[in-house]
Amino acid sequence: MEIYSTKNELQDHLHTLRKAHKKIALVPTMGALHEGHLSLIREAKNSADIVVCSIFVNPTQFNDPQDLEKYPRPIENDIALLKGETCDILFLPTVDEMYPSSDEIWEIDLGELDNLWEGAKRPGHFQGVTQIVYKLFNLVQPDIACFGQKDFQQVMVIQHMIDLKQLPISLKIGPTVRSEKGLALSSRNSRLSEKGKEDALVLYRTLEQTRNNFGQKSLEQLQQEATASITATSTLTLEYFAICETRTLQQAMDKDNTKEYVALVAAWIEGVRLIDNMLLNM
């Protein structure tokens, strides 16, 4: 595996690969890799000749400086995991490399996606996400980009940016990878106690219950039952539970058999914010 820390080195290497007509896939990450990330590396390998993984803890998408400071950075373990998956290239830049100017301005029209759910709870988050992903897209110029379904709203935001900027990139969405009991894998899970991980399983169970009952109960019933189920766990603080149309993420008021729906949830436990989702009729 080749490891590059500067844009120029990476671009020079990728230029050679493109001249050889190699198909390139990009897997952008913030490190602290787990099986969810590795499943995206495998998906990328199945879809392209060359896999580029980036590890960069992007400061512009953090609302809370303490969250940025606490974010895990086990880089030696990450490198070992990527080598184990025979990833071709790791891009490991510094903040100065990606943001050479401290007063850089970025703004993209994300419509309502920037104001709903994660957009509402974390103002500016998706501007920061699109800022760094657009930089990586321009740098790597991938044919394919792989993202995980766990960050469902983020995937919709990236697709919106690809469409808006008319980028020749195919977006591949990998399914959420879960623990044996069902907890969605996340780099932040490492900050949870074993009891915290056990209590957090109510999120998965509630999403499954909502999916299983989707055809039999009204949206209002499903919403009420989900909220009651999560709030009954005293160690969790629910931020939101919502049933939405998949592309717009507008909260659904009535069912329409021609549309697809997703349940979104965000909650706090032991000072850690967890998000999850589940497709309901796909």
Provide the annotated active-site residues: 37
List, in order, residues 6 or more apart from 263 with CB less than 8 Å away: 207, 210, 211, 226, 241, 242, 243, 244, 277, 278, 280
- Taking CA atoms, 53 is separated from 78, 276, 278, in Å, by 11, 23, 26
Please enumerate in sequence order all residues whose Cβ is within 8 A of that of 252, keeping only pairs 6 or more positions apart, or say none: 219, 243, 244, 245, 259, 261
As beta bridge partners, residue 268 has 237, 273
Q: What would the two tokens of residue 115 be?
A: 């104001």
Q: Which of 150, 112, 111, 153 lies closest to 129, judged by CA? A: 153
Q: What residue type is 200 in one-letter code?
A: A
24: how many CB neighbours lie within 10 A of its CB?
21
How far, in Å, CA of 4 to CA of 13, rounded?
Answer: 9
- Please state, as a whole number, how many other Cβ atoms lie within 10 Å of the Cβ of residue 83: 12
Q: Which of 202, 227, 219 is nearest to 261 (CA)?
A: 219
| DSSP, residue by residue, 141-155 | --SEEEEEGGGHHHH
- Kindly report the backbone phi and psi dihedral angles of residue 217, in degrees, each rounded to the nearest multiple of 5, phi listed first: -120, 160
Report the C-alpha gap between 12 and 228 in whole angstroms.
Answer: 55
Encoded amino acid at 232, one letter: A
